[in-house]
């Protein structure tokens, strides 16, 4: 899960992944991790859904997990 979190951080830095924002210039949120669970947060932009899907699919293959959509 940490590897997935690192990948999301890379995508946020590259401005490929748009985290949700609570206010202008305020806190942005791209994921929350709890024990062995992760909650993914991103700004809903239709063109960017494939980036999220590819990131999760790649991570699932590496970790031997399945996506619960």
**pLDDT bracket for residue 68 (50, 70, 90):** confident
pTM of the prediction? Answer: 0.75
Domain region containing 40: 2-63
Cα dihedral sign for 16, 64, 31, 41?
positive
Q: How many domains does the chain have?
A: 1
Give the confidence band of 16 by pLDDT, cuts at 50, 70, 90: confident
Cβ atoms of 33 and 64 within 8 Å: the answer is no
Residue 69 lies in a domain: no
25 in any annotated domain? yes
Average pLDDT of span 10-29: 88
Tokens of 9: 């951080």
């Amino acid at each position: 899960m940490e590897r997935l979190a690192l990948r999301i951080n890379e995508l946020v830095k590259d401005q490929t992944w748009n985290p949700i924002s609570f206010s202008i210039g305020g806190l942005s949120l791209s994921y929350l991790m709890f024990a062995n669970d992760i909650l993914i947060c991103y700004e809903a932009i239709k063109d960017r859904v494939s980036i999220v899907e590819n990131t999760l699919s790649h991570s699932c293959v590496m970790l031997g997990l399945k996506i619960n959509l």
